[in-house]
Amino acid sequence: MFIDKAKIFIKGGKGGNGAISFRREKYVAAGGPDGGDGGKGSDIVFAPDDSLSTLIDFRYKKKYIAPDGEPGGAKRCFGKSMEPTVIKVPRGTVVKDAQTGRVLADVSDEPVTVARGGKGGKGNAHFATPTRQIPRFAKPGFPGEKFDVTLELKLLADVGLVGFPNVGKSSLISVVSAAKPEIANYHFTTITPVLGVVKRGEKSFVMADIPGLIEGASEGVGLGHEFLRHVERCRLIVHVVDVSGIEGRDPKEDFEKINHELANFSEELAERPQIVAANKCDLASEEQIADFQKFIEDRGYPFFKISAATTMGTDALIDAVMAKLDTLPPVKRYEAQQLTLEELAAMDEQKHSFTVTKQDGVYIVDAEWLAPILSVVNMEDYESLQYFQRVLRSSGIIDELERQGIQEDDLVSIFDFEFNYVR
C-alpha cells in the first residue's frame, strides 16, 4: 500500500539528573561534594532511506520516545549520554509540527535532528562555593523536546507528468525511462506515483508519473488532489494531453481544466514552467493537431506532438525537457521554520505546572514546559528577556517565589539558568 502521509509523536530523551554525593575517604569525616553530571538524552533524528518508498510503517507505530540519559554518579562519574534514535523515512519526507504546520525538517539529503534530547543536569560537585561548602542539591536533567509531527512524502523529481486519466502518462514514462508502471485502457490505472530516471548520454533526470487528475481534484474529489503533493517540488511540468479526443473530450478544455486544478492546489504549482505533450497523435488528424498546437502556442507554452504508443516525437520532447531543465533552479527543498516562543509556550498541555523548592538558600524552579523556552530565550536581548519575565509572572512562578519568602538578590535556578531575583 502506498501511504504518503502520517502523524506521529516524537520525544527526545530526558537528560540524566546530576548526582548528590560526598567524598568518603578514610580518616576524612565529611568530604567535599563529588556528584557527577547526568548524561544527555537521545536525540530523535530522521534519516532518508532509499530502500523505503512509503510511510506505511508509521501506520502501526505512532510513538517514538528516545531513551533518557543516565544519571550522574558518585566520584564525579558522568552519566552515559545516549546515541541518537534514528527514524528512517523515504527520501523527500517533510516533517511538520502538527499544531502550527511549521516545517521542522525536509529529509531529502542529510539526516536531520528534529527533537533534541535534554542536556544532563549538573552534579553537586559544581555547586560548592566558599559560603556553601555542602551543596545538598544537584540539577535535574532537561526534558527532551517533544512534538506531534506530520510526515508528508513529497517526491524528489525534476519533472512531473500531469494530465487527465488515460491520456498516456504512464505509457510515456515507460518509453523514456526504465520504469515499468501499469498501463491499461481505463481511468486511474496508476494509483501510486512512479519515478523513472531518464538518461541521455552523461545526463539524466528524474521523472514522476502520478495518477491522472480529474476536475475537482484540488477540492479532493476523486483521486488526484493528494497526488499533486508529489509534483510540488518538480522543476518542470510536462502536461500530457490526449489530442485525439478519442474519449470524447476536447483537448483544449482538458488543458484548461488541469491548469485550473494546479492553480487551485497552489499558486506556485500554477506558475511552474510547463511543456505540453500532445499525445496519441497516431490517432489524431492533422487538423486536430494543428488546431491544438495553435491554441497552446498562442498561450506561450512549448508544444510537442508525440505518440507514446509508437514513440514518435518522444526523443524531441526529452531533448527539450533536458534543455529547459538546464535553465531551471534545482529541486526545491523546504526550509525549516523555527517555532516562535509563543508557539512553544502554547504547545505543552501541562502548561504552567511547576514546583519551587528551596535548598541552601537557592530557589529551584522545576517546570518542564519552560525548558524549550529557556533554550531559545536570549538573556542578552531585552525583548526576549521581557518575554521570559512575563512568562514567569503569568504562570504564577513569581507569586510562588514571593510566597516562599524570596528576597531581593536571592538566587533562582531554573535548569542550568540562574539569576538573582529583582523585585
Ligand X SMILES: Nc1nc2c(ncn2[C@@H]2O[C@H](COP(=O)(O)OP(=O)(O)OP(=O)(O)O)[C@@H](O)[C@H]2O)c(=O)[nH]1
- Interacting residues toward ligand X by CB under 6 A: 163, 165-171, 183-185, 187-190, 211-212, 279-280, 282-283, 307-309
66 vs 278, beta carbon nearer Mg ion: 278
Q: Give which of ligand X, Mg ion, none residue 395 binds (C-beta under 5 to 8 Å, depending on kind).
A: none
263 vs 309, beta carbon nearer ligand X: 309
- Return the residue of 170, 174, 244, 279 that touches Mg ion, per CB under 5 A: 170
Q: Give which of Mg ion, ligand X, none residue 282 binds (C-beta under 5 to 8 Å, depending on kind).
A: ligand X
The x, y and z cell numbers of residue 300, run together, are: 506561450
35 vs 168, beta carbon nearer ligand X: 168
Whether 244 and 281 have beta carbons less than 8 Å apart is answered as yes
Number of C-beta neighbours around residue 328 at 10 A: 13
Provide, rounded to whole angstroms, the least separation between the CB of residue 185 and Mg ion: 11
Q: What are phi and psi of 52, to 5 degrees?
A: -100, 140
Whether 194 and 208 have beta carbons less than 8 Å apart is answered as yes
Say whether residue 279 binds Mg ion (CB under 5 A): no
Q: What are phi and psi of 342, to 5 degrees?
A: -65, -40
Provide, rounded to whole angstroms, the least separation between the CB of residue 276 and ligand X: 15
Q: Give which of Mg ion, ligand X, none residue 235 binds (C-beta under 5 to 8 Å, depending on kind).
A: none
Whether 231 and 185 have beta carbons less than 8 Å apart is answered as no
Residue with cell 529583582: 422
**369 backbone φψ class: left, alpha, beta (φ>0; ψ -120 to 50):** alpha
Residue among 163, 219, 212 nearest 192 (CA)? 212
- Return the residue of 177, 190, 314, 395 that touches Mg ion, per CB under 5 A: 190
The SS3 assignment for 159 reads strand
Provide, rounded to whole angstroms, the least separation between the CB of residue 210 and Mg ion: 8
Provide, rounded to whole angstroms, the least separation between the CB of residue 310 and ligand X: 7
Q: Give which of Mg ion, ligand X, none residue 418 binds (C-beta under 5 to 8 Å, depending on kind).
A: none
Residue with cell 494543428: 290
188 vs 301, beta carbon nearer ligand X: 188
Q: Which residues contribute to the site for Mg ion (CB under 5 A)?
A: 170, 189-190
